Structure 1
Amino acid sequence: MPQKAHTEAAEHHEKAAKSHRTAAEHHGKGDHADGHKHSTEAHGHSTTAHERSTKAHGKSGEHHT
């Protein structure tokens, strides 16, 4: 079970990173509307990643028999 929790957290971290990179590209080109959209997406993924990471960390401490 802990592996699945860690995998889910990692997936959201990767989605957040991708959205952050896309936002930076748009902002760099002066397209602030799309940059803001992707920044908002990144924030959502980052929040979910944090929640999943916290959950995964808790599961890592559980003893499964």
Structure 2
Amino acid sequence: MSVIDCDYLPDPEPVQFPPELALLIVRKAAAMAEAFESQALDQMTRVASRALCNGMEPRRIIRQMGL
């Protein structure tokens, strides 16, 4: 529903979403998610390693990282 609720505004035409465009979007999103997952894994591993080197107990690292 639009902010202006008027009968004289035409109903929007339904848009046919091309399947090939949907497939490309899904592939791009999957690639972006994979890259993000890899970066997050690397960063979390570095943080945990640094904390261990500084003498922090593994249980405390687990709690602080929300694992």
Structure whose alpha-carbon radius of gyration is higher: 2
TM-score (normalised: structure 2): 0.49
More helix by share: 1
TM-score (normalised: structure 1): 0.50
